[in-house]
Amino acid sequence: MICGSMFSGKTEELIRRLKRAIYAKQRVEIFKPLVDQRYDEEKVVSHDDNEIQSTPIKAATDILLLSHNIEVVGVDEAQFFNEDLVEVCNHLANRGTRVVVAGLDMDYLGAPFGPIPKLMATAEYVTKVHAICVKCGALANHSHRITQEETLVVVGEKEAYEPLCRRCFSALYPPVLNPKDVSKSKCDNTDVK
């Protein structure tokens, strides 16, 4: 699992790992959701134009149909698939296929994104990569939306988002819980043993 905010180099890291598998003459297949048509329909393209051939698919379950005899399965933009992806990846891994998945860990509001939390929980290895905060230069883990559109899938990319660190992001979106609420919920938990 490779995850992080936008501009954090997830796709570059995915491509790096998959190219090494290709150099090792392993049979590799890369999938991405059909929703992501930013650049080339048949290629996983990172922001620095490093690219690799991929297959756009509508549903996570399509991966099972298309990965017979494949040794390494790559998935990019995994956050746009539904939770079926978790079962699909674990099924493949259980039968001995190496699965490398890249995706956004949080949406633009800072909430865990789609199947990513469960993939992180069930993966053997998790790499979190970071962008650089455009406001202060610290490590960024948030993708702050700078357009007004409200759907989760905005495919506009660079113009629509900017990477922010926790501090700069939370200055814009103050946490919903205040410390009082947190300590109250802790007390409630200790009652239920």
Active-site residues, by number, are 77
- Angle at Cα 81 formed by Cα 73 and Cα 61, nearest 5°? 60
In the complex with Zn ion, which residue's Cβ is closer, 75 or 133?
Answer: 133
Closest CA to 123 of 175, 67, 78: 78
Of 63-71, 110-118, 130-138, 170-178, the segment contacting Zn ion by CB under 5 A is 130-138
- Shortest distance in whole angstroms from residue 140 CB to Zn ion: 7
Helix (H, G, I), strand (E, B) or coil at 142: strand
Of 12-20, 51-59, 121-129, 165-173, the segment contacting Zn ion by CB under 5 A is 165-173
Is 131 one of the binding residues for Zn ion (CB under 5 A)? no
Interface mask toward Zn ion for 135-154; x: CB under 5 A:
xx-x----------------
- Tokens linked to 189: 């938990």
Task: Report the run of H or E that residue 120 belongs to, with start and end.
Answer: helix 116-122
Is 133 one of the binding residues for Zn ion (CB under 5 A)? yes
Interface mask toward Zn ion for 82-121; x: CB under 5 A:
----------------------------------------
Q: What is the DSSP letter of 90?
A: H
Helix (H, G, I), strand (E, B) or coil at 41: coil
Closest CA to 56 of 26, 70, 76, 71: 76
Which residues sit at the interface with Zn ion, rule CB under 5 A? 133, 135-136, 138, 165, 168
